[in-house]
Every structure is written in C-alpha cells, then in structure tokens.
Structure 1
C-alpha cells in the first residue's frame, strides 16, 4: 500500500480516491485499488456514498472481486451484486471458500440466485449445493472444507513428506486431523508436535485423542464461545456419525463475535446490524419507520393509561409536571437490568439453574434503589412544594416502578428468548411499555386515591 495511505486509513485513501474520481483519473484509481488488499477495498467501499461506490466497484479488478465480496456486509454486498450480471457473480464466487460461498449465495434474491447457479460449472454448482445444505448460522455454514487429514498408523516422516508433496497448507492450519478409514475423526496432531518429535514416531502415539470436535448443527454463537473459552485457532466439525466434514478457523470466529456485538448494540435502537451506513434515504427511512411505528404504539398505550386520570390532573396541575419523573427513572433502571441480562444470554452465562437467583438479585437491587431514590425525591418535593403527602405519593410510585423495572428488565429477555424472539430487538420496546404504564398508573392512581 502506498505510504500516503498508511495513516488515518481509510480517510486519507477515500479523500485521494474521491479527488481522483472527481477529476476523471479513473486509471489512477484502478491502480490504487490494485495495490490495496481486498479487505481494505471492502472497507473503502463501505465508507463511500452510494454513487462513488458504484463507480469504484467498476474499477475493481474482476480477479479480486470475489475476495472483496467476502469482506462486505450483507446490505452493501446486495447493493453491489444488484449491478452485476449473473455470470460475473458466478465468476467472482469461483474461488470462494465453502463458508463465504454459502454466505454470499444466501444473501441473493431467489431469481438472482437461480441465474447465478445456472451460470456456474458443474463443480461449482455442487459446491454451492453443499454450502447451502447446512442451516444458516450453524457450524456447518461457518466451516471450510480445506482440512488436512492423516491416518493414525503412519510415521511423522510420512506425514512430513505428504505435506511437502502438497506444497502448502490451508490458511490458519495449526492441527492435522487424524481419521480412520471411514473418515471418522479420532484425534489431532499439532504442527508443533509434528516438528519437534523424531520422524520415526507413530502418529497414534503423539496425537491428541481428547481434541474436542464441533457438531455440524451447533449455533455459531456457541462455537464462538468455545473458541473464546479454549483459545482455539481452529477446530474440526463432525456430523452425527463423527465423520469429519471440515473445520472452523479463528478468522471466521472473529467475524461472528463482531457481528453479535453489532447486533446487540444496534438492535437496541431497532436497527439492522447489516444496514448500510450510506444506503439511499428512502431505503433507510423505510427500515427505521417500522421501529418508530412500534414505539409510537407504546407511547399511545402510556397516554391511554394517563387519560384515565384527566380529572386528577385538572385538580392538581403539579402532577402533570411531575408525571414524567417516575417512568423516566423506571426506564433507566430497567434498561440497566435488560442490558446486563441480554449480555449474559449472549455469552452463555444465564441458564435454567441461575435464573431464579438473577431474578431475586434484580428484585433486591430494585428495592434498594427504590428506597434510596424514593426518600430523596420525597424530601425534594416536600421542600419544593411544601406538601409532604405529594412527596410521599411520588416516593411510593417511584419505589414501585423501580422494583418492577428491575424484575422486568431481568425477566423480559429470558421470556422472549424462550419464545424464540430476539431479546436485543424487542426487549427495550416491551420494557419501555411496562415501565411507562406502571409508573403512570402508580403515580396518578395513588395521587387520585390519596390527594383528591
């Protein structure tokens, strides 16, 4: 990469590319892209507005377009694929790995997918069929089939000669997988063991028979947790009969961890983690409008509850001023519990055995916070309005809402998870509805009862 681009990447490169495009120096841009790694080209495309992105893609060398497609987020990839002919898509996916091929093909619309498969040769068509045969977001969809297998009854010298004949090892190889004559996985031989032991040693005597394999149907988030816990670089993937099918490598796990983190963060705001930052205005507006509509419904539900106490608000206008305090405090407290529990579910910390303890913990935290802030707000209101009864009403409502918010924040993600609903996406909406309605009802209801 040119030295001018090494700092503040991709900002400097994006400025240079934009300047060259605006001045019509397309040959210069093509040369820049030719010297740029596919992952950096993908970053440059994702960092560019829609019109510049279309022009940049036309200047990318067709020989590396497949590598660039692998690195793009789904939304950006779909936008680029939409301007490609099916035969060009088929050519770009020709040298893709098993996992990347499946990911790209799954993102295609049905009509485009059929045209792309038709444009493939027989061998690539079989690869595509196999890649799509595994469930999405499973170990099968994540794995590559580029494994190096050896037999247990050969010497290390035979293994070394076999590797020399191959000429190269698949990227990310740290273990050679030992299989029997039926291709059943029985162990692993690390490269360090291979290189540091006498060549006359037998593989069976040195292999790791306790090497853990990954079931083909395991969810990719669970696979990522195993990699994180065991500090793996790669791991074998097997079917129900222990037959070796492929392997998962750490570079794919990094993508899974990043995607899960982005999903948890953006879902709280109702955004798609694959959404294109520079997507057209109408497309982005359409996606966000759905979430705004849901939030409008929850706000209307809270307003509907408040409408039952119009008479109370007419008699005591100060209640309208104070009415937003209780739902606001409950929303913040509930969001803290909600975020903590969603994270616990994502990393596998929360299960059937500790859910009860978690609920009791959040109940206790809600009660303690409720006592602290209720006493504080009661004192403030009593001194401000010289009305101890009003301060007591607000304190009681805040205590109740903080307790409910703590329990709701802990229980809502667990309940949604059991219903196969994404807690990160729906949890905040449900929680806001609960804390708003409980807060308004507790405050205005108690005020109607005691002050009117």
Structure 2
C-alpha cells in the first residue's frame, strides 16, 4: 500500500514537472524540485528524458547536488556529471561522508579526482584513500572511518564532556565504541546508558560486548544479512587484529538491499540495474543483442528436438497444438523454484548441508502438482480430441517436465553459484532451455512410442 502511494506521488510530480517544462515555466519546477529529498530528486531525474533531465538538474539547489548524485544509477550519474565543470563537482562532493564519497569518486574523471583530493584536509584524504583500498562490495568499502570512540577506563562524566566538546555527532550514532589503548574493539556503550547513569560510573561497567564486529573483508551481502538478523542501526568494522577501522550504518545497508533487489529483477532479463531508461537506442541495442542472441541459440536447441519428431507431428497434428502446454508449464514451475533458490542463495540460507533436503522437497511438490495438473489436463484433452491415449501421453509428459523443472530449479542455481556465476543472470536461460527440451522430448517421445502404430 505504502509503495503504491509513493509511486502515485512520483507519477503526479512527474506530470507536473513535464507540463511545467513543456510550457517553459521554470519557476514552479525549481520550487517543486527543491522541496523534495535528494532521493526523490534522483528518482525524478531518472524518470525524465535527457533534454528535460538536463534542465531540471540545472535547477537543483547546488547544496543537494552531491546527495542527488548518490541516488541515481551509474549511467544517469555519468550524464549529470558531464554537465558540470570541475569546480561544481568539487563543491558538490565536499560535504559528503567518506563512505558516500568513496561510492562516487570512481565515476569521476582523474583530473576531477585530483582536485577533490586536493580540496580535502589530510585526515579526510587519508580516510578516503583507506576506504578506496578495499575491494568493492566489501565491508571496508562500505564503512565510514568517522567513529566516536571512548576508553573503558574513564567515567561517564569524562565521556559527556568529550561529546559536548566535540559537538555534532556522525549520523545514526546510537552507540559509542569502546577501544583499548591499541585501538582494539572491546564493545559498545549506548548513548542512553551514558545519560541515565551517574557521572562517576566507569564506562567498563556499561560496555555491551555482545555485538560482534564485522570483518573488513566481509561481503556486502553478508553485511546486509547480519543487519537484518540483528536489527542493527550501526555496526563496527575491524581488521584481522580486531583494530577498529570504522562503522557501517543502516542507511548504507538499505541501499545494499535495494540494489540487490534491482539486480535480481533486472538480471533475470539480462539487463543492468544501472541502465538509463532513456539511454541512446544504439547503446541499448548492443547490450540487449547479446542476451537475445544467447536466447536465440537456446531456442534452436529446443527446435532441434522438435525437428526429430517431424514424422510424428505430421501423422498426429493435435500434437502441434498441445506441445507448448507441456513446455510452458515446465518453464513456469521452474521459474518458481529458481526464484526461491536465488533468494535463498543471496541470503546465505542454502548450502551443501541442506540442498539435498530442499531438492527432495521440491521434487515431492513437483510430483504432486504434476499428477494433479496432469489429470486435469488429460481430462481436458480427452474432451477436446476424444483420444484417451493422447490424454495419458500429455498427462505423463507434464508430470515428467514438472519434475525436471524442480530438479533443474534447485541444482542449476546452486551449480552456477559454485562456479562463480550469477544465478539470477544465467539461471533463467539454462532452466528454460532444460524445461523446453524435456517438455518436447517427453511429449513427442511418448507420443511416438504409444500413439503411432
């Protein structure tokens, strides 16, 4: 419900913007755009064709430029940056947090990166270089080195004086991290505990040492899973020696989860989640041609199976009308299992310890569904063609293909994952080919054996 309301709001804003732009009324456009949050502005920019996008981008408050750039896809960001000069880019990113700046800096031209680094003080420049030294999609790349730390051997009044002296705290600061003299992570102490205890209370009596730290090399998927499991707002990041390096906050994890969902949805169609909807036709053509070419090749595999039964089809024309049913039902069943498996693999819920149990369960479900649907389909075919043996053939073929779909739906993504491929991207093509081939082979093969004299 909330998602539908948000989409309706975006659609209304888009209509208002388009109407105002078409009539040349830039004042209302400026006022509307600058009442929105950076994420909403980014969503609107992605919804506009390049010409209108360029106009609206020029009307965005310069103070919001950096945040807006973080909330658009790579291709749209590239086009927006192309409309900015070096000074504008430097001004846009100078107030970003280190983790956000690390996200953005690799999309900048080398000359602009040099200017950005020159504009930073030594401490922040070293922090940025530290974050950029870690591989992409790891905790090290997601973390913000700006953390508030305290020692365990001080009292609450010392910490409170330090916080007042420091002034502003980093966003999403719900805990302070307790470290040793060597900056090793010991635990955390909540702000609530600090303000509800006596000033003379030692910090070591307030330490919560139950929150495990995140290793700097952990993948972003693992980070998102742990935040989800534990309902964290923030979490410390440490190296192999338990030295506190920074922290990851919930806003970054929300971005990870959103990107994962977009990647899974777009990969199933062979698309890039960062692709601009309004990218030039030539660029979209090149990207999609490869994917469609692969699908064309797999279609020939299924067609070659059908071609081997030309004689059977010529003698029993009804087979031509019924073939797509068996293949289509297998494909649909396989898609259901594949979606379940891709999600489970992404969440780390599926491994060698439970994959066989899952396979048995899916085969059982497929057998039951196959028998029920096979009987139903057989009765329909019997009423349609008045051929009992044809009903038996199609019911049996449907059951066999449902079992094939379950088998492939479980093992194909698991195998792809172990080989280092993305199951969301490649699983659908392989599974569809498998169910098409098995559907045609089982149906036409059984028809040849049973129906032909």
TM class, shorter-chain normalised? over 0.9
Cα deviation digits, residues 390-428 of structure 1 (max 9, x gap): 222222211211111111111111111111111111111
**1:115 equivalent in alignment to 2:111:** yes
Quote the residue 2:81 is aligned against: 81
Separation of aligned partners in 2, 1:236 and 1:175: 10
Partner of 2:407: 407
Equivalents in 2 of 1:7, 1:212: separation in Å?
38
State how far apart, in whole Å, the 2-side matches of 1:399 and 1:24 are: 62
**Residue deviations 1:415-444, cap 9 Å, x none?**
111111111111111110000001111111
Quote the residue 1:136 is aligned against.
Answer: 136
Give the equivalent residue in structure 1 for 2:3: none
Greater displacement, 272-281 / 427-436: 272-281
Kindly report which structure 2 residues correspond to 1:382-401, keeping only aligned pairs within 5 A, or say none: 382-401=382-401
Change (3 A) 1:451 1:15: closer
Please tell me whether the aligned partners of residues 338 and 413 of structure 1 are also in contact (alpha carbons under 8 angstroms).
yes
* Corresponding residue for residue 344 of structure 1: 344
1:9 counterpart residue number: 9
Please state how far the C-alpha of 1:77 moved relative to its aligned partner: 1.1
Counterpart position of 1:178: 178
Identify which range, 326-335 or 123-132, moves more after superposition: 123-132
CA contact (8 A) 2:127 2:145 kept: no
Alignment of 1:417-432 (within 5 A): 417-432=417-432
TM-score scaled by structure 2? Answer: 0.92
1:354-373 residue pairs with structure 2 within 5 A? 354-373=354-373
Residue 221 (str. 1) matches residue 217 (str. 2)? no
1:324 aligns with 2:362: no
**TM norm structure 1:** 0.92
- Could you list the per-position Cα deviations for residues 87-106 of structure 1 after superposition, in whole angstroms to 9, with x for gaps in the alignment? 43333222222221122123
Tell me, yes or no, if the aligned pair for 2:105 and 2:113 is still in contact at 8 Å. no
Change (3 A) 1:34 1:370: closer
Cα contact 1:157–1:200 (8 A) shared by 2: yes
Counterparts of 2:104 and 2:414, CA distance in 1: 32
Return 198-207 or 45-54, whichever deviates more: 45-54
**Unaligned runs of at least 5 residues, structure 2:** 1-5
User: Whole-Å Cα distance in 2 between the matches of residues 403 and 120 of structure 1?
Assistant: 58
Secondary structure of 1:120's counterpart equals helix
Q: CA deviation at 1:34?
A: 4.1
Distance 1:310 1:128, change over 3 A: same
Please tell me whether the aligned partners of residues 267 and 424 of structure 2 are also in contact (alpha carbons under 8 angstroms): yes
- 1:267 equivalent to 2:263? Answer no
1:214-271 alpha-carbon deviations (Å, 9 max, x no partner): 0011111111111111111100011111111111111111111111122222222222
Are the equivalent residues in 2 in contact too, given 1:87–1:120 (CA < 8 A)? no
SS in 2 for 1:218: coil
Counterpart position of 1:69: 69
The CA deviation at 1:27 is 5.2
Count of residue pairs the alignment pairs up:
443
String of CA shifts for 1:252-291, please: whole Å, max 9, x gaps: 1111111112222222222222222333333333333322
Separation (CA, whole Å) in 1 of partners of 2:396 and 2:18 = 60
- Deviation, 1:134, is 1.1
8 A contact 1:50–1:280 mirrored in 2:
no
**Cα drift, residue 12 of structure 1:** 4.0
Which segment drifts farther, 123-132 or 213-222?
A: 123-132
Contact residue 117 and residue 125 of structure 1 kept, 8 A: no
Structure 1 window deviating more from structure 2 (281-290 vs 208-217): it is: 281-290
Gap runs ≥5 in structure 1 = 1-5
Alpha carbons of structure 1 residues 22 and 381: separation in structure 2 relative to 1, 3 Å: closer
Query: How much does 1:15 deviate?
Result: 3.7
**Deviation of the 1:125 alpha carbon:** 5.2
